[in-house]
């Protein structure tokens, strides 16, 4: 078959596939929201390897954590996994599993690697799309290279060669119906990573096969660089995996909130578990975020000249509810114009400052106060203190 005929055949095949997977599915309304969490690689495919770690193990550990967090926060959401143990799943098989289950979201979890040297750090999230960037293409080709491990890959993927840049021309001609939603989810996930102090490598475009064949908003998250010794220590630690999972789950929560609003659903979030994390918003150039990260154990820091305890004004055995409005890399004083007239208590954790206003004794009062504060800070949320300790958030 000539190259011209082969290209034409491949284009027809991919167009037909796109039409099939994008057809409206009956009965999707009035059912549980379904998210498929995909732990990349597995079985004989270890993925990237470095510093005594295997990508497949990190992916699975974080994926399971993400699922548990989503389940605990969102009882109305059905969480499915492409794998819950160490076995191999084809790229097409992962996408087909999500399609077959009529998933509303697909989140694929991976770890990055730099072939030369030990550099590279931070997190990035991919959505389907073509970008002529050699670094992005290197990531795309590496992730798609799993295809070569599959039996009959030439037949299944109709001659698509993940090593050939020419093969990717076909993807440029495919319209991604779900790109806008995918980008929204990716942005929220990256915001979660930023709140954890992770370096933000941004939202990127890439024609990753597992995203191309998924008929729903889909993202592929690169948690960090296994080739970087410092990053590897973080990726291999329980704390690191917990933080990465909470960032992804938080991004999902923010996306789901917007999804429910657009769908006309009105519901309050489920009670939050103590270890679960809050939502974050895009940090500005001045280091200010409209909402921020929660972590344990650090003492509150009040504005100069006035020491304030987390649950000042309430009995230490009772719950106190406050509204968190901002986080910043540098400390703001009460009266700063960026606080928009609100008097705040300041907490410092992990190199960032967090600003809370109000101190009420009931959740109903807190929800009323949050509604008022959101007129100035749309992403403000409730923080619950018990016996002086920050225990959970209510979005």
Is 113 a residue whose pLDDT tops 80?
yes
Residues 268, 342: Cα–Cα separation, whole Å: 25
Query: Span 31-49, mean pLDDT?
Result: 94
Q: What is the per-residue pLDDT for 91?
A: 84
Asked if residues 185 and 105 have their Cβ atoms less than 8 Å apart, the reply is yes
Is the per-residue pLDDT at 287 higher than 80?
no
> Vertex 272, ends 268 and 275: CA angle to 5°?
160
**Statement: residue 108 has pLDDT above 50:** yes
Query: Which domains, ranges and CATH numbers included, belong to the chain?
Result: 3-263 (3.40.630.40), 288-394 (3.30.70.1070)
Q: Which of 2, 282, 254, 294 is nearest to 105 (CA)?
A: 254
Side-chain half-sphere exposure of 373, counting CA atoms within 13 A = 28
- DSSP H or E segment with residue 163: none
Instruction: Tell me the CA distances in angstroms from 357 to 13, 208, 343, 367, 384, one per residue in order.
Output: 57, 44, 6, 13, 12
CA-based nearest residue to 80, from 99, 103, 62, 58: 103
DSSP 361-395: SSHHHHHHHHHHHTTT-TT-EEEEEETTEEEEEE-
Higher pLDDT, 92 or 86: 86
Q: How far is CA 252 from the centre of its chain?
A: 6
* Token code pair at residue 12: 């027809």
Lowest mean pLDDT among 44-48, 76-80, 375-379: 375-379
pLDDT at position 37 is: 98
pLDDT of residue 391: 80
Percentage above 90 pLDDT, the chain: 42
Taking all residues of the chain, what is their mean pLDDT, rounded to a whole number? 75
Say which residue, 263 or 278, is predicted with more confidence: 263
Q: How far is CA 156 from CA 9, 13, 21, 162, in A?
A: 13, 11, 16, 13
CA distance 40 to 43: 10
Residues 6+ apart with CB under 8 A from 332: 326, 338, 339, 346, 353, 355
Between helices 238-263 and 179-195, what is the axis angle to 10°?
Answer: 140
**Cα–Cα distance, 319 to 389 (Å, whole number):** 9
* Contact (Cβ atoms closer than 8 angstroms) between residue 114 and residue 120: yes
Beta strands in the chain (DSSP E): 33-39, 49-50, 53-54, 77-81, 105-112, 123-127, 200-205, 218-225, 288-289, 319-328, 345-349, 352-360, 381-386, 389-394
- Rounded to an integer, what distance in angstroms lies between the CA atom of residue 271 and that of residue 395? 9
Tens digits of per-residue pLDDT, 166-212? 544 454 444 456 888 999 999 999 999 988 888 889 999 887 877 87
What is the enclosing helix (H) or strand (E) of 341? none
Q: What is the pLDDT of residue 14?
A: 56
Residue 1: which H helix or E strand, with range? none
Query: The tokens of 225 are what?
Result: 């660089």
pLDDT on residue 390:
81
Write out the two tokens for 270.
């489920």
- Confidence at 240, pLDDT banded by 50, 70, 90: very high
- Per-residue pLDDT at 101: 95
pLDDT at position 301, please?
22
């Amino acid at each position: 078959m000539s190259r011209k005929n082969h290209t034409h055949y491949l284009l027809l095949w991919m167009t037909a596939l796109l039409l099939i997977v994008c057809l409206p599915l009956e009965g999707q309304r009035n059912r549980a929201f379904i998210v498929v969490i995909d732990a990349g690689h597995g079985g004989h495919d270890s993925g990237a390897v470095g510093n005594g770690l295997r990508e497949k193990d990190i992916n699975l550990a974080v994926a399971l954590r993400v699922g548990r967090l989503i389940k605990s926060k969102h009882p109305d959401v059905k969480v499915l996994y492409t794998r819950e143990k160490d076995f191999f799943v084809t790229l097409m098989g992962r996408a087909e599993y999500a399609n077959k289950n009529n998933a509303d979201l697909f989140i694929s979890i991976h770890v990055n690697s730099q072939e030369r040297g030990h550099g590279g750090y931070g997190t990035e999230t991919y959505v389907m799309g073509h970008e002529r960037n050699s670094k992005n293409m290197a990531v795309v080709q590496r992730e798609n290279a799993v295809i070569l491990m599959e039996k009959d890959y030439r037949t299944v993927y109709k001659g698509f060669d993940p090593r050939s840049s020419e093969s990717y021309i076909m993807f440029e001609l495919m319209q991604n119906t779900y790109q806008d939603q995918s980008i929204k989810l990716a942005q929220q996930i990256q915001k979660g990573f930023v709140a954890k102090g992770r370096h933000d490598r941004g939202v990127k475009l890439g024609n990753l096969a597992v995203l191309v064949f998924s008929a729903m908003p889909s993202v592929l998250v690169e948690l960090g660089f296994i080739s970087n010794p410092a990053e590897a220590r973080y990726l291999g630690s329980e704390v690191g995996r917990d933080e990465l999972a909470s960032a992804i789950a938080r991004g999902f929560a923010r996306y789901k909130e917007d999804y429910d609003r657009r769908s006309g659903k009105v519901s309050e979030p489920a009670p939050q578990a103590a270890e679960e994390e809050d939502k974050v918003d895009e940090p500005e150039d001045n280091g200010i975020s409209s909402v921020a990260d929660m972590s344990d154990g650090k003492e509150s820091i009040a504005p100069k000249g006035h020491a304030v305890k987390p649950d000042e004004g309430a009995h230490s055995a009772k719950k106190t509810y406050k509204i968190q409005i901002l986080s910043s890399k540098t400390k703001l004083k009460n009266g700063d114009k960026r606080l928009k007239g609100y008097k705040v208590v300041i907490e410092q954790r992990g190199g960032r400052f967090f600003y809370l206003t109000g101190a009420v004794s009931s959740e109903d009062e807190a929800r009323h106060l949050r509604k008022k504060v959101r007129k100035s800070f749309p992403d403000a949320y409730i923080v619950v203190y018990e016996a002086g300790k920050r225990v959970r958030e209510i979005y």
